[in-house]
Amino acid sequence: MDTARHRVWRPVTPLDIGATWGTLRRGAGDPAWTVAGGALWRGVRTPAGPATLRLPRRTPDAPVAAQAWGAGADWLLERLPRMLGEEDDTRGFTPVHEPVARALRLHPGWRVPRTGLVLEALVPAVIEQKVTGQEAFSGWRRMVLRFGEPAPGPGSGLGLRVPPSAETLVGVPSWEWLRAGVSPQRADTVLRVVRVAARMEECTSLTHAAARARLTAIPGVGVWTAAETAQRALGDPDAVSFGDYHVAANIGWALTGRPVDDRALVGVLEPYVGQRYRVQRLLELSGAMRPRRGPRMAPRTHLPISRPRGR
């Protein structure tokens, strides 16, 4: 078994790890994420190699006592505070709507994370484009189970997986994407992304605006996908998920009493420019969503099917 590396770090402000890293989990069945023995376990692919990370349960004011195994353990532990939002800057963020102020009071330990792992955020975001959450999460789960690898150290005994590398994804044949439920359009976008993986990972050293420009220069990566990536990997507090099926309507309902579209959302969030994603996520965490009406969308399949001639 790999030797464990250890790090104890005391955040300067309250930290809720579950809330801060909640968006990193890709559905309830995410093979790279599990909770066992009173701890959060993650399988992570770092630039130094795969790693298993263990974070025991703690109170928001307690130190973070982390353990890691694998070739990427030291890389992961060195950057853990930044990944957990230590550099998240809330200066200038003043709620002007009571639902936002209430959400901030309810979740003082939430921070905008900055994992520094662009592909870890970008590839699942591409897979999640324009499909239901069930479809998106099942597609990613199947790809990780099929092409990922067992997490180092005790992670493997928990069934934890490390997501596949860019090199592995480049070699995935088209029928495997279909088998995972990922449409050809999204699979092609993933391939375009992973073929320039080094350029994508360089986004961590760019300004938020420059990073968005580089991400959206890839055909198939739009504003929504870039924002979903920046929220997780780049610590961008302004990266609103414009283009999302629900986000604009939910924020509009929470702040104005009625659903709005993306165009109107720009005006609603104007007082928060520079911190607009902070509003989005705080409202999500507090459950400020419009009432749902109608049945959920049924899962679709992207596998080819035969049809009778003439139809």
Is residue 167 in a domain? yes
**Do 121 and 197 contact (CB within 8 A), yes or no?**
no
Does some domain include residue 87? yes
> CB-based contacts of 270: which residues, under 8 Å, 6+ apart?
none
> Looking at the domain assignment, is residue 274 inside a domain?
no
Is 210 among the domain residues?
A: yes
* Average pLDDT of the residues in 92-116: 96
Q: What pLDDT, on the 0 to 100 scale, is given for residue 293? A: 59
CATH number, domain at 51?
1.10.340.30
d(CA 16, CA 9): 14
Which pLDDT value is given to residue 198? 97
Predicted pLDDT of residue 60: 86
C-alpha torsion sign, points 182, 186, 188, 189: negative
Task: State how many domains the chain has.
Answer: 1
- CA dist 120 and 232 (Å) reads 9
The predicted pLDDT at position 292 comes to 65
Gap between the Cα atoms of 39 and 87, Å rounded: 24
pLDDT tens-digit series, residues 143-179: 999 999 999 999 999 999 999 999 999 999 999 999 9
- 300, part of any domain: no
Start-to-end CA distance of the chain, whole Å, equals 58
Q: Is residue 179 part of a domain?
A: yes
**Residue 191 maps to a domain:** yes
Q: Give residue 133's domain range.
A: 5-107+115-234
Query: Could you tell me if residue 285 is inside a domain?
Result: no
Query: What separation in angstroms does the CA of 176 have from each of 12, 17, 181, 260, 305?
Result: 46, 34, 9, 39, 16
Overall average pLDDT of the 77-95 stretch: 95
Q: 């997986």: which residue's tokens?
A: 161
Look at residues 61, 104, 111, 115 and name the one whose alpha carbon lies nearest to residue 89.
Answer: 111
User: Is it the case that residue 299 has pLDDT exceeding 60?
Assistant: no
Task: Read off the pLDDT band of 212 (50, 70, 90).
Answer: very high
